[in-house]
Amino acid sequence: MVAFVIVALLLSFASVATVLNKSTGTTVVAAGASSQPAAPGIPLGQSPADSFQARDPNAPVDPQPAGTIHKVTLTIVEKQIEIAPGVTQLMWTYNGEVPGPVLRGKVGDTFEVTLVNHGTIPHSIDFHASKVAPNVTMRQIEPNTSMVYTFTADHSGIFMYHCGTPPVLEHIAMGMYGAIIIDPPNLPPVDHEYVLLQSELYRSSDPSQPAALTKMLDEQWDAVVFNGYPMQYSDRPIKVGVNQKIRVWVLDDGPSENSSFHVIGTIFDTVYKEGAYLLQPDANHGGGQALDLQPAQGGFVEFTFAVPGKYPFVTHKFASASKGAVGTFAAS
Ligand SMILES: [Cu+2]
């Protein structure tokens, strides 16, 4: 049995290595008719500059009691940002970053979100954690105007938020998405808690212009990423301790690709998906291997690492892992 597990692990690592080697220099361009010249694709397998700082994967902490009113301002900014090593292009953002900031609260909390549009076209926001009238609260706002979106969180989970301005596909693909975590009651503390948002990147043929909508409609993404940037946690591994309890919240922000979140070299002892526990430790010793998510679904998994080592995490849809949706936990 032990030998089998070792062989299986080696095969898993070999798979990742093969995928990463194959992906070096990969370019994926739009198929089908397009009014724009073919975009150059996103080269994978290159390291970012030494000055590159990976997006902080730590989940935000909410130390306040249930019933808190969270006042948040999200400012819409259309700007060029680095989306991959050597690739900078226009993105539409909340607060200048893709994904937008991760918000967190508890069941019973109220969120007063001031949305400010500093973009050049109408934008909006849709919180999946809210029950509101879309035509009222999720309405578009014109450039240089603002609105307040208020809701009380009655349900727990990790929920997507995104711009709902048509074409929604384009506004999400251009970067207007994020996550809000509403803790289930009595969520136990862990040693490390992270958030990984999976999404696709679509490269533009002109870095000052949006990527072609035809690419988005044809699902011709150039990269699939965690927290907005391909392979950033392969280049900047997430450091953890052996036998420490780790919780990872995962949300598939799409707009179109699914996710099968898997950590190579361990087994999930807890799986929470779409507001419910699918697995918790008990006498059956059940184990989970992947958290399956369609776009706009999310949850968390919990696990430990038994021995020191480097543990890749992937979407086990390896076509997407090979396009950037991989990272590494370094356990010591
Ligand atoms: Cu928008």
Kindly report the average pLDDT of the chain as a whole number: 90
CA–centroid distance, 14 to ligand 1, in Å, is 41
CA–centroid distance, 128 to ligand 1, in Å, is 16
Please tell me if the domain spanning 69-183 has the same topology as the one spanning 190-331. yes
The band of 79, judged by pLDDT with boundaries at 50, 70 and 90, is: very high
- Reported as a single tens digit per residue, the pLDDT across 284-325 is 999 999 999 999 999 999 999 999 999 999 999 999 999 999
CA–centroid distance, 12 to ligand 1, in Å, is 39
Rg (CA), the chain: 20
Mean pLDDT confidence for 100-129? 98
Distance between CA 122 and CA 139 in Å, rounded?
10
The band of 5, judged by pLDDT with boundaries at 50, 70 and 90, is: very low
CA–centroid distance, 117 to ligand 1, in Å, is 9
What pLDDT, on the 0 to 100 scale, is given for residue 37? 59
Give ion ligand 1 contacts, CB < 5 A. Answer: 123, 163, 165, 171, 176
What pLDDT, on the 0 to 100 scale, is given for residue 26? 35
CATH 2.30.30.100 fits 69-183, yes or no: no
CA–centroid distance, 85 to ligand 1, in Å, is 25
What pLDDT, on the 0 to 100 scale, is given for residue 191? 98
User: Residue 21: is its pLDDT beyond 90?
Assistant: no
State the residue for tokens 């999400």. Answer: 172
Partners of 111 in the β-ladder = 70, 151
* H helix and E strand count, the chain: 6, 19
Distance between CA 192 and CA 246 in Å, rounded?
5
CA–centroid distance, 121 to ligand 1, in Å, is 8
Output the pTM of the full model: 0.89
Structure token pair of residue 269: 């002892």
User: Residue 95: is its pLDDT beyond 50?
Assistant: yes
Strands (DSSP E) contained in the chain are: 69-84, 87-94, 103-106, 110-117, 126-127, 146-152, 157-162, 177-183, 192-201, 223-226, 238-240, 246-254, 259-263, 270-273, 276-279, 291-293, 298-303, 309-315, 326-331
Top pLDDT among 38 and 302 is at 302
CA–centroid distance, 123 to ligand 1, in Å, is 4
Three-state SS for 297?
A: coil
Fold (topology level) of 190-331: Immunoglobulin-like (2.60.40)
Domain boundaries, the chain: 69-183, 190-331
The band of 118, judged by pLDDT with boundaries at 50, 70 and 90, is: very high
CA–centroid distance, 191 to ligand 1, in Å, is 36
Residue 40 corresponds to which amino acid?
P
